[in-house]
Structure 1
């Protein structure tokens, strides 16, 4: 594999921050367009690198508060920019979708696949990570951060009105084979959630099996796009001996921003992930 020491896309990154160790880049061609991934390399490696799938409207710098701390703890990571989510990923696929994002993630993952046994998925990226894990028998650890689950039919829908329509049906997320995959998964799962995400939508005036949306709770605006039933479904699908949960107080779905504003919480999450991988 050919990694580069500099990125020509740096001016388009969401967060241009110095890392704690080496960073290298790889540009992958997808026919009519290219996407770039970043590999963070620790000074002293203590575990094999993890593969990270970011959320909607994210580039590979969005989770810096977590990934940089893992780098300091001896755990490297590879994160790719996916079409349809950031300036750094433009121009990307003509009609980006979860399916095209999965193909991009699969192509990036292969660069570390011989060693990689852990996937980290954030929000929308968790839905993609679960599909990737189901196709990758070597994966034995999943870190799901405020994970989204979408109907299998929505994976082919282009982002925008078609995608929104495909994911808006109440309880539609139950028509997803990722729940069955988790029931059979023999590895470990760490679920990281914000206290104010995954709220009961019916309790806040919305239909059951849907998102609670944006609310005013505990003196602040909270965003809870993940239906409570998704979280309950994930908890019910993973056998208890294989499941660990981390609930972040005073945090909603915006975990990446929360980690950036609360360094002590970012330390806690990074240490929990590192303990899982090094234990």
Structure 2
């Protein structure tokens, strides 16, 4: 594994802020482009490194409020930039899709595969994290942050109109083998959700089996792209003894932004995630 001490892409990051410890970088060359991952290395490691799959329109700095706190607590992480989601990942694949992102993620994951026990998936990245974890027997913990689940036939659709059409069919997400994977999964799952995400679409004037979208609620504009039925099916798919849930009050789908704007909440979330990772070892 070739580790780099600095990143030539730093000027393109969404958040250029100092880490609480060592950060190193891995660059992978694909057919006609490169992508980079950042490895946050703690001073004193107390758990194997996490593999983190970020969400749409994210680079590997979006979850800094969580990942930096975990690094300071002795839990490192490897997060890759994936095609189609950020300036830092450009130019990337020509017509990126979830399948493209999964192949990119798997390439980076192999660098820590022999040690990695926990995979974190954020929003769109959770759909990739679930597919990746199903191929990695060593993974026995999943942290799913405001997770999206998409129909299997959406994974090959290029991002843009084709992808939007593939994920817009009411209840289409049920046609995904990740739910069956979770039913068979012998590890543990931590589900982190904002209280204003995963809302009932029909209560808010939308069709059943779809998202509630953007709405005004409790004195503020809220974004709820995850259908209530996705969350309910996830909860039903994980055996109760293996499931933990963390609900963030006054938070919608924008969990990363919420953690950035409320440091005390970020402290509490990082502590909960750390305890989940370190438990039952």
For 2:211 and 2:30, the matched residues in 1 are separated by 34
Q: Does 2:134 align with 1:137?
A: no
Normalising by the residue count of structure 1, what TM-score does the alignment of the two structures yield? 1.00
Q: Deviations over 1:83-140 (max 9, x none)?
A: 0000000010000000000000000000011100100000000000000001111100
For 1:244 and 1:59, the matched residues in 2 are separated by 27
Any idea what SS the aligned residue of 2:206 has? coil
Any idea what SS the aligned residue of 1:76 has? strand
Q: Deviations over 1:235-277 (max 9, x none)?
A: 0000000000000000000000000000011111110110011
Deviation of 1:226 (Å): 0.0
Q: Deviations over 1:178-233 (max 9, x none)?
A: 00000000000000000000000000000000000001000000000000000000
Any idea what SS the aligned residue of 2:7 has? coil
Residue of structure 2 in register with 1:105 after alignment: 105
For 2:192 and 2:268, the matched residues in 1 are separated by 11
Q: Does 2:216 align with 1:216?
A: yes
Deviating 4+ runs (over 4 angstroms): none
Gaps of 5+ in 1: none
Any idea what SS the aligned residue of 1:199 has? coil
Residue of structure 1 in register with 2:181 after alignment: 181
Residue of structure 2 in register with 1:153 after alignment: 153
Any idea what SS the aligned residue of 1:156 has? coil
For 2:215 and 2:141, the matched residues in 1 are separated by 33
Any idea what SS the aligned residue of 2:71 has? helix
Q: Deviations over 1:25-50 (max 9, x none)?
A: 01001111110000000011110000
Gaps of 5+ in 2: none
For 1:277 and 1:221, the matched residues in 2 are separated by 33
For 1:166 and 1:96, the matched residues in 2 are separated by 15
For 1:278 and 1:174, the matched residues in 2 are separated by 32
For residues 1-279 of structure 1, the aligned pairs below 5 Å read: 1-279=1-279
For 2:264 and 2:128, the matched residues in 1 are separated by 29
Question: Could you say what the CA RMSD is over the residues aligned between the two structures, in angstroms?
Answer: 0.4
Aligned length: 279
Any idea what SS the aligned residue of 2:246 has? strand
Any idea what SS the aligned residue of 2:155 has? helix
For 1:227 and 1:46, the matched residues in 2 are separated by 36
Normalising by the residue count of structure 2, what TM-score does the alignment of the two structures yield? 0.99
For 1:91 and 1:55, the matched residues in 2 are separated by 18
